[in-house]
Amino acid sequence: MDKHDTRWTRRTVLKVAGALASTPAFGWIASTDTQGFTAPPTPISLGKSPPEPSDWQALKESLSGNLLEVQSPLEIYKADPSSTAAKTVMKNMKNPFFLEEQPGATHTTGWVGAFDSAVSPRAVAAENAADIAAAVTFARKYGLKLVVKGTGHDYLGRSSAPNSLLVWTHKMRDITVHDAFVPAGSRDAGIPAVTVAAGSRWLEAYDAVTNHAGRYVQGGGCTSVGACGGFILGSGFGALSKRFGTGAGSMLEAEVVTANGDVLIANEYQNPDLFWALRGGGGGTFGIVTKLTLMTHELPQTLGGFMGKIYAKSDAAYQKLIEEFIRFYPDHINNENWGETVKFTPDSTLELGLIFIDLPEQEARKIWQPFMEWLDAYSADYERDIEIVSVPFKDYWNMDFWLDNYPALIQQDPRTSAPKGQFWWKTNDSAVSEYMYGYQSRWIPLTNFHNPKALAKSFFDASRHWSFKLYVNKALAGAAPEAVERDRQTCINPAVFDAAAWVLMQASDTDIFPGVPGYEPDPVKAEALADRVAAGMAVIREATPGAGNYANEADYHEPDWQEAFWGMNYPRLLTIKKQYDPTDFFSTHHSVGSES
Ligand X SMILES: Cc1cc2nc3c(=O)[nH]c(=O)nc-3n(C[C@H](O)[C@H](O)[C@H](O)COP(=O)(O)OP(=O)(O)OC[C@H]3O[C@@H](n4cnc5c(N)ncnc54)[C@H](O)[C@@H]3O)c2cc1C
Under the rule (CB under 6 A), what is the footprint of ligand X?
107, 147-155, 158-159, 169, 198, 220-222, 225-226, 228-231, 233-234, 236-238, 283-284, 288-289, 428, 431, 552-553, 588
| DSSP structure class, residue 300 | P
Cβ(241)–Cβ(304) below 8 Å: no
| DSSP structure class, residue 357 | E
3-class SS of residue 97: helix
**Cβ at position 291, least distance to ligand X in Å:** 9
Nearer to ligand X among residue 99 and residue 367 (C-beta): 99
3-class SS of residue 358: coil
**Cβ at position 20, least distance to ligand X in Å:** 21
**Cβ at position 131, least distance to ligand X in Å:** 12
> Which H or E run includes 166?
strand 165-168
**Cβ at position 327, least distance to ligand X in Å:** 27
Cα separation, 203 vs 517, whole angstroms: 34
Nearer to ligand X among residue 452 and residue 593 (C-beta): 593
3-class SS of residue 295: strand
Cβ(539)–Cβ(119) below 8 Å: no
**Cβ at position 150, least distance to ligand X in Å:** 4
Cα separation, 383 vs 311, whole angstroms: 5
**Cβ at position 266, least distance to ligand X in Å:** 12
Nearer to ligand X among residue 229 and residue 249 (C-beta): 229
**Cβ at position 439, least distance to ligand X in Å:** 11
> Which H or E run includes 504?
strand 499-509
How many Cβ atoms are within 10 Å of 165's Cβ, its own excluded? 26
Cβ(398)–Cβ(391) below 8 Å: no
Nearer to ligand X among residue 314 and residue 427 (C-beta): 427
**Cβ at position 380, least distance to ligand X in Å:** 38
**Cβ at position 355, least distance to ligand X in Å:** 13
**Cβ at position 524, least distance to ligand X in Å:** 26
Cα separation, 207 vs 257, whole angstroms: 27
**Cβ at position 454, least distance to ligand X in Å:** 28
Nearer to ligand X among residue 149 and residue 297 (C-beta): 149
Contacts of 167 (CB under 8 A, 6+ apart): 123, 124, 126, 132, 135, 136, 146, 147, 148, 149, 288
Nearer to ligand X among residue 73 and residue 238 (C-beta): 238
* Helix 523-543 and helix 3-11, axial crossing angle in degrees, nearest 10: 170
Nearest by Cα to 334 from 479, 452, 483, 484: 479
Nearer to ligand X among residue 113 and residue 157 (C-beta): 157
Contacts of 372 (CB under 8 A, 6+ apart): none
Nearer to ligand X among residue 375 and residue 436 (C-beta): 436
**Cβ at position 350, least distance to ligand X in Å:** 21
Nearer to ligand X among residue 34 and residue 235 (C-beta): 235
Nearer to ligand X among residue 221 and residue 438 (C-beta): 221
* Helix 315-332 and helix 361-377, axial crossing angle in degrees, nearest 10: 150
DSSP 308-346: EEEEESSHHHHHHHHHHHHHHHHHHTSSTTEEEEEEE-T
Nearer to ligand X among residue 220 and residue 478 (C-beta): 220
Nearer to ligand X among residue 93 and residue 456 (C-beta): 93
Cα separation, 471 vs 481, whole angstroms: 19
DSSP 127-193: -SHHHHHHHHHHHHHHTB-EEEESS---TTSTT--TT-EEEE-TT---EEEEEEE--TT--SPPEEE
* Helix 53-62 and helix 129-142, axial crossing angle in degrees, nearest 10: 160
| Residue 329 CB-density burial (10 A; 0-12 exposed, 13-18 middle, 19+ buried) | buried
